Amino acid sequence: MMEQLSNAWKNVLDRKGFDYGLPIDISTHGAAIDRLITTLHYFMALLFIGWGIYLVYCLVRFRDREGHQADVSEKHFGVPKYLEMGIVIFEACLLVFFSYPVWAKLKTDFPDRANSLVVRVVAEQFAWNIHYPGRDGKFGKTSIDLIDGTNPVGLDREDADAKDDIVTINQLVVPVGKPVIVELSAKDVIHGFFLPVARVKHDAIPGMTFPLWFETKEVGEFQIACAQLCGVGHYKMMGQFLVKTPEDFEQWHLDEEKALTE
C-alpha cells in the first residue's frame, strides 16, 4: 500500500505527469526552472482559493442586514493585514531561495568557450540570423555598411577570419550534449529569443550583446520563437531549432562549408 502510494506520488512529480502544459524539456538546466514554475503554480492556486474563500466570507459576514449596516471601515479585524505581510515575506523567500540560486547557478556554470559551440544570434524584424565562426573558431569582421538582403549580419567575406564563417537564417543547428554559448543581439527593436524546449528565454536588445548558454540532452527538431511583440510580423518570427547527433552536426557543418565554396 505504502509502496503504491509513493509510486503514485513519484508519478505525480514525474515530468511527464506533472508538466502543466509545459513543452518537453531537453536541456540540462531546465528541471530547476520547471520546479520553480510548479512551485509558483501551487502557491498561486493556494492564494486563489484562499482569497476566494475570504471574499465569500466577507460578503456574508459584513453584508447589509437588519440591525447591521455595511460600512467601509478597515478596522473589522487585522488578519488580512498579517496574511498579506506573510505573503510578501513568502514571495521574498521565493525570490531569494528559489529563483536566485537557479539564476546564480547558470552564471557560475557558464561553460568554457574552448569546449562549447559559440554562435551569434542577431534578431531582426522578422527573422533570426545565426552566425557561426567556422573551423577557426573566430568570427569574421562585420559591419553595418555591408548588411543587405543576402548578407544579413554584414559579414566582411574579405576578412581572413570570415572565410569559413557560416550564416543561416531562421535555423539554429547545435550538437547534442555540448554546451552552446549564444551571443545575443538585435538590429532594430527588442525581440525575445525563446527556445521553449531548452528553457532559454532572453530579450535581444539593439546595441547590447548578451551571453547565454544551454546544453541539450535529446536530438530532435524544435522551434525558436520570439517572445516580445516586435512588430506586425512578430507572429511569423519563428525559426527551426535543430539538435543533431555530433556526427550529423559535423555532416551539416561540412555541407555548409561546401556550399560556401560553390
Residues interacting with Cu ion, by CB under 5 A? 191, 226, 230, 237
Min CB(106)–Cu ion separation in Å: 23
Pair 228, 262: CB distance under 8 Å: no
Pair 165, 130: CB distance under 8 Å: no
Residue 87 or 238: the one with the smaller Cβ distance to Cu ion is 238
Residue 133 or 152: the one with the smaller Cβ distance to Cu ion is 152
Amino acid at site 125: Q
Min CB(228)–Cu ion separation in Å: 6
Nearest to 126 by CA among 204, 242, 232: 232
The runs of H, that is alpha helices, within 62-172 are: 79-93, 100-108
Min CB(259)–Cu ion separation in Å: 27
Give the cell for residue 191. Answer: 525581440
| Bond prior to 126 in cis (omega within 30° of 0) | yes
Amino acid at site 149: G
Min CB(121)–Cu ion separation in Å: 12
Residue 117 or 123: the one with the smaller Cβ distance to Cu ion is 123
Min CB(60)–Cu ion separation in Å: 49
Residue 187 or 191: the one with the smaller Cβ distance to Cu ion is 191
Nearest to 123 by CA among 206, 171, 186: 186
Pair 41, 20: CB distance under 8 Å: yes
Pair 239, 128: CB distance under 8 Å: yes
Residue 32 or 186: the one with the smaller Cβ distance to Cu ion is 186
Residue 203 or 248: the one with the smaller Cβ distance to Cu ion is 203
Min CB(238)–Cu ion separation in Å: 10
| Close Cβ partners of 115 (under 8 Å, ≥ 6 residues apart) | 178, 179
